[in-house]
Amino acid sequence: MGANWGHSLRLSIFGESHGKAIGINIDGLASGIELDFESIEKNMERRAPGRNKFSTQRKESDSFEILSGIYEGKTTGAPLCAIIRNEDKKSKDYSKLKEVMRPNHSDYPAFIKYRGNNDVRGGGHFSGRITTPIVFAGSIAKTILAKKGIYVGASIKSIKNIEVESLKMEELTLDTFDKLAYKEMAILSDKKILEVKEEIEKARINQDSVGGTIECFAIGVPAGLGEPFFDSLESSISHLAFSIPAVKGIEFGKGFDITRYYGSEIKDEYYYEGEKIKTKRNNNGGILGGLSTGMPISFRVAIKPTPSISKIQNTVNIKTKENCELVIEGRHDPCIVPRAVVVIESVMAIALLDKIYEAGGKYE
C-alpha cells in the first residue's frame, strides 16, 4: 500500500479510521529546530471533527503523542514519529459494508485490489481521517518555513454555487492568514459565512452533502525554488494535493481561465521595486517553468461533496451478486470543505519545505 512521499523530506503515514491510532513518520527534518507546539495544536484543532453541526459529530481531540525525534523541545535529526489515538469509534455502523459497496467511496476498487482484506470501518486507510497526521507534518513544516519568512494560508473560495471573492494581492499577509485561521470558516466576509452556513445546513437537513473549492497561498517564497518537468513545484504540490481523498481537481494562478485570454493580456511582466524583482500581475500563480518566481504562490483545489449521505442509494452486494439499495449510517460531514482548509495549507507547506531541503543550503 503506497503510504510514503517525498525526496529530501520523507513522510510515511499509517493507521485506519477506526484502528487504535493513526500516525506519521517524518524523516529528513533538520536537527535543532524548536517546534511551536501551540501552533501545531491549533492547526490540529482546526481539522478536528465534532466542532459544530457543520461537521461530523464524531468527537476526536486529535491530540498527538510524539514517540521519537524530539529532545528538550527540539528536533534531533532522527525520524520524528507521532501518533494520534482514535477515541470515538462506532465501528458497528460499518458491519454490512464488507459486502455492500458505498457509492463514491473506495470500497469496490479497494475490495478488488486487496482481495477483500481491507478495513472498511470509516473507510479504513482510505478515510479522510488519515489527513490528520498530514496536518501534524504540515504544522511542523509551517514552523520551519516561518523561520525563513515564508507563510502559508488558505481560504474557502466556494461552497456549491456560492462564490467567495478571492483574496486581493494586498491581503496576502500573515495577519490575514491568522485572521482566517481563527474564524469559524476561512472566509473574510461574515456575510458570506452566513450564506455558506445556510447552504451547508440545507444539505444537512436534506440528508445530503455539498462540496466546494479552497484557495491556498504562500508568501515570502524565494525565486528559483523547484525543478523543471517531473519534479516541478506544481508537480510536488499536485502530488500531495491528490493524496487528499476528497480532492478532484487543482489549478494554479488563473488556471483553466487562462485559456480565455490573448497572450498579451495574460503575461506577468517584470519590474524592479527597489532591489527586488516582481511581476505586475500574478496570473501564473507564482510558478513558471516549474520554478517559483518570488511572487505569491497560489492554487485552488476542488473538493467533492462528502460521499457518505443518509439518502437511499443504489449499489451492489458483492456476496449475493445482486443490485441493492443502501442507507449509510453513522456520523458524516455535510460538507468537508471547512475542515479541509488546514489540510490544503499543510500540502503547500510540506511541498515547499521538501523543495527547500532539496536545494541544500541555498535558501538557509
Residue 125 has pLDDT above 90, yes or no: no
Q: Which three three-digit cell numbers place residue 260?
A: 480565455
User: How far apart are the C-alpha atoms of 229 and 288, rounded to whole Å?
Assistant: 11
Q: How confident is the model at residue 3 (pLDDT cuts 50, 70, 90)?
A: confident
Residues 153-169 have a mean pLDDT of 96
**Mean pLDDT for the chain overall:** 90
281 annotated among ligand-binding-site residues:
no
305 annotated among ligand-binding-site residues:
yes
Q: How confident is the model at residue 142 (pLDDT cuts 50, 70, 90)?
A: very high
User: How far apart are the C-alpha atoms of 124 and 23, rounded to whole Å?
Assistant: 13
The pLDDT of residue 127:
80
In single-letter form, the type of residue at position 266 comes to I
307 annotated among ligand-binding-site residues:
yes
SS3 347: helix
User: How far apart are the C-alpha atoms of 75 and 36, rounded to whole Å?
Assistant: 11
The pLDDT of residue 52:
56
Residues 44-60 have a mean pLDDT of 66
The single-letter DSSP state of residue 259 is G
Residue 49 has pLDDT above 90, yes or no: no
Residue 354 has pLDDT above 60, yes or no: yes
Q: Which three three-digit cell numbers place residue 199?
A: 447552504
User: How far apart are the C-alpha atoms of 353 and 8, rounded to whole Å?
Assistant: 9
Of 1-5, 301-305, 315-319, the one with minimum mean pLDDT is: 1-5
332 annotated among ligand-binding-site residues:
no
Burial class (CB in 10 A: 0-12, 13-18, 19+), 321: exposed
User: How far apart are the C-alpha atoms of 323 and 265, rounded to whole Å?
Assistant: 53
Q: How confident is the model at residue 30 (pLDDT cuts 50, 70, 90)?
A: very high
321 annotated among ligand-binding-site residues:
no
Of 119-128, 242-251, 290-299, the one with minimum mean pLDDT is: 119-128
Task: Output phi, psi for 176, to 5 deg.
Answer: -65, -45
Q: Which three three-digit cell numbers place residue 157?
A: 473560495
Is the distance from CB of 325 to CB of 292 less than 8 angstroms?
no
Spell out the residues 6+ positions from residue 339 whose beta carbon is closer than 8 angstroms to its own: 46, 47, 48, 49, 51, 55, 333
68 annotated among ligand-binding-site residues:
no
Which tops the pLDDT comparison, 135 or 48?
A: 135
The pLDDT of residue 328:
81
Q: Which contacts (CB < 8 Å, 24+ apart) does range 268-276 have?
A: 268/293, 268/295
Q: How confident is the model at residue 143 (pLDDT cuts 50, 70, 90)?
A: very high
Spell out the residues 6+ positions from residue 229 whose beta carbon is closer than 8 angstroms to its own: 290
306 annotated among ligand-binding-site residues:
yes
Element (H, E) at 213: strand 212-219
Is the distance from CB of 350 to CB of 239 less than 8 angstroms?
no
Residue 54 has pLDDT above 60, yes or no: no
Residues 301-324 have a mean pLDDT of 92
- Predicted TM-score (pTM) of the model is 0.91
- Kindly list the strands in the beta sheet with 151-159, ordered across the sheet, starting from the edge strand earlier in the chain: 162-163, 151-159, 212-219, 297-303, 247-252
Q: 493580456: which residue's cell?
A: 265
Residues 65-87 have a mean pLDDT of 93
89 annotated among ligand-binding-site residues:
no
User: How far apart are the C-alpha atoms of 221 and 224, rounded to whole Å?
Assistant: 9
Is the distance from CB of 315 to CB of 326 less than 8 angstroms?
yes
Residues 116-139 have a mean pLDDT of 83
User: How far apart are the C-alpha atoms of 7 and 277, rounded to whole Å?
Assistant: 30
Residue 1 has pLDDT above 60, yes or no: no
The pLDDT of residue 130:
86
Q: Which of 87, 109, 124, 121 is nearest to 13 (CA)?
A: 124
Q: How confident is the model at residue 264 (pLDDT cuts 50, 70, 90)?
A: very high
The pLDDT of residue 218:
98
10 annotated among ligand-binding-site residues:
no
53 annotated among ligand-binding-site residues:
yes
Residues 220-241 have a mean pLDDT of 96
